[in-house]
């Protein structure tokens, strides 16, 4: 099934003729998510699903129509992590196909915490942000923004199967290693085939650095976790990354270096801001860091939660300190 071309040093996978990328539109600045369909015989596996919007629904329908596929051919729907653009259309795809949805238990717990129709509480993000100095007169925007995701992730799938680190999973009739790649989200999973084909989800992206957020229910030090994940990925034999945003790429080591350099520069900048000032809240530091950009609420959430991840990374390394203040934790040296 694998199409190879022989290089001098080792076999290089040029492309997989049975893996199809589906670019699904997103109504925010990331613009699109790339889902994949792997075809073997008359069976199909889907990896990541899009938001539940009419555009997503139309795109999936059109794609299946063009390929001449039936929904009942889908035997697995794999979700790399709980974020709405990956998980949001899983329930609908399950309704159409009857296929099971595969996800890590950790991400399922995140879904329950945020999006469970009866007990989930997306507005907890606003409370959490307030404790780091997010302005009280704008908290309602965060609440509305987070609550707004409910509409684009329902219906929830009813049949779920847990995936664990290091188990083997058949995708398109081939055995893949399930790899826990946390940092961007706590239970994020990626999938590696012995040929070097790597379904990476959001862990390494070709043209943007994945958002590393400090969020409620999240890892207390997501940036440290993410940097370890990058080291783990570097140690794997990866030829070709199938990312969840953007196009397939080969140079994973180079991309890991660029992403690490980005975080290194950001950490230095934040440290200098903390050192050169009196105690400031996480929000004040975020404002300085992004002072040249007008951010909508979606991007402000990304910018703020990522600033907090960097601040907590520095604090947990003992490089800066944090104190309680009525307007939110303040950082100082
Ligand atoms: Zn994501």
Supply the range of the domain harboring residue 127.
Answer: 3-265
CA of 11 to the centre of ligand 1 (A): 32
CA of 202 to the centre of ligand 1 (A): 5
- 189-193/197-201 β-pairing: antiparallel
Answer whether residue 64 is part of any domain: yes
CA of 104 to the centre of ligand 1 (A): 14
265 pLDDT higher than 80: yes
Q: Report CA-CA distances (Å) from 63 to 7, 23, 66, 199, 208.
A: 34, 10, 5, 20, 26
Q: What CATH number is given to the structural domain containing 111?
A: 3.60.15.10
Answer whether residue 37 is part of any domain: yes
Which single residue is written with the structure tokens 């390929």? Answer: 67
CA of 44 to the centre of ligand 1 (A): 23
How sure is the predictor about 275, in pLDDT bands with cuts at 50, 70 and 90?
very high
CA of 41 to the centre of ligand 1 (A): 31
Of 302, 315, 224, the C-alpha closest to 263 is 224
Mean pLDDT to the nearest integer, 314-324: 96
The count of domains in the chain is 1
How sure is the predictor about 209, in pLDDT bands with cuts at 50, 70 and 90?
very high
Q: What is the pLDDT of residue 28?
A: 80
Answer whether residue 71 is part of any domain: yes
CA of 271 to the centre of ligand 1 (A): 26
Answer whether residue 310 is part of any domain: no
Answer whether residue 43 is part of any domain: yes
How sure is the predictor about 7, in pLDDT bands with cuts at 50, 70 and 90?
very low
Answer whether residue 93 is part of any domain: yes
CA of 99 to the centre of ligand 1 (A): 23
Answer whether residue 273 is part of any domain: no
3 pLDDT higher than 60: no
Answer whether residue 31 is part of any domain: yes
Phi, psi for residue 14 in degrees, rounded to 5: -85, -45
CA of 33 to the centre of ligand 1 (A): 10
Q: What is the pLDDT of residue 13?
A: 37
Q: At what angle do helices 297-316 and 252-275 cross, to 10 degrees?
A: 80
């Amino acid at each position: 099934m694998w199409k190879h071309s022989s290089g001098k040093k080792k076999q290089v996978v040029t492309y997989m003729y049975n893996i199809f990328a589906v670019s699904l539109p997103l109504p925010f600045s990331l613009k699109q998510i790339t889902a994949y369909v792997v075809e073997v015989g008359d069976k199909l596996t889907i990896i990541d699903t899009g938001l539940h919007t009419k555009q997503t629904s139309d795109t999936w329908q059109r794609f299946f129509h063009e390929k001449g596929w039936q929904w009942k051919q889908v035997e697995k729907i794999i979700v790399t992590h709980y974020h709405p653009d990956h998980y949001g259309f899983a329930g609908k795809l399950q309704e159409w196909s009857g296929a099971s949805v595969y996800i890590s238990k950790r991400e399922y717990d995140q879904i329950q915490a945020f999006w469970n129709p009866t007990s989930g509480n997306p507005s907890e993000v606003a409370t959490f942000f307030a404790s780091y100095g997010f302005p009280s007169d704008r908290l309602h925007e965060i609440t509305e923004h987070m609550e707004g995701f409910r509409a684009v992730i329902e219906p929830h799938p009813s049949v779920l199967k847990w995936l664990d680190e290091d188990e083997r999973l058949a995708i398109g009739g081939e055995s893949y290693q399930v790899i826990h790649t946390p940092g961007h989200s706590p239970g994020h999973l990626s999938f590696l085939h012995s040929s070097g084909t790597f379904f990476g989800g959001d862990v390494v992206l070709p043209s943007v650095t994945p958002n590393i957020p400090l969020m409620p229910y999240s890892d207390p030090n997501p940036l440290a976790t993410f940097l370890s994940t990058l080291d783990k990925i570097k140690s794997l034999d990866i030829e070709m990354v199938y990312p969840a945003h953007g196009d397939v790429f080969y140079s994973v080591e180079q991309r890991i270096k660029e992403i690490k350099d980005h975080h290194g520069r950001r950490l230095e900048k934040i440290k200098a801001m903390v050192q050169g000032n009196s105690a400031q809240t996480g929000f004040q530091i975020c404002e300085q860091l992004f002072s040249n950009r007008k951010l909508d609420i979606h991007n402000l959430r990304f910018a703020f939660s990522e600033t907090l991840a960097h601040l907590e990374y520095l604090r947990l390394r003992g490089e800066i300190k944090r104190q309680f203040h009525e307007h939110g934790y303040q950082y100082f040296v």
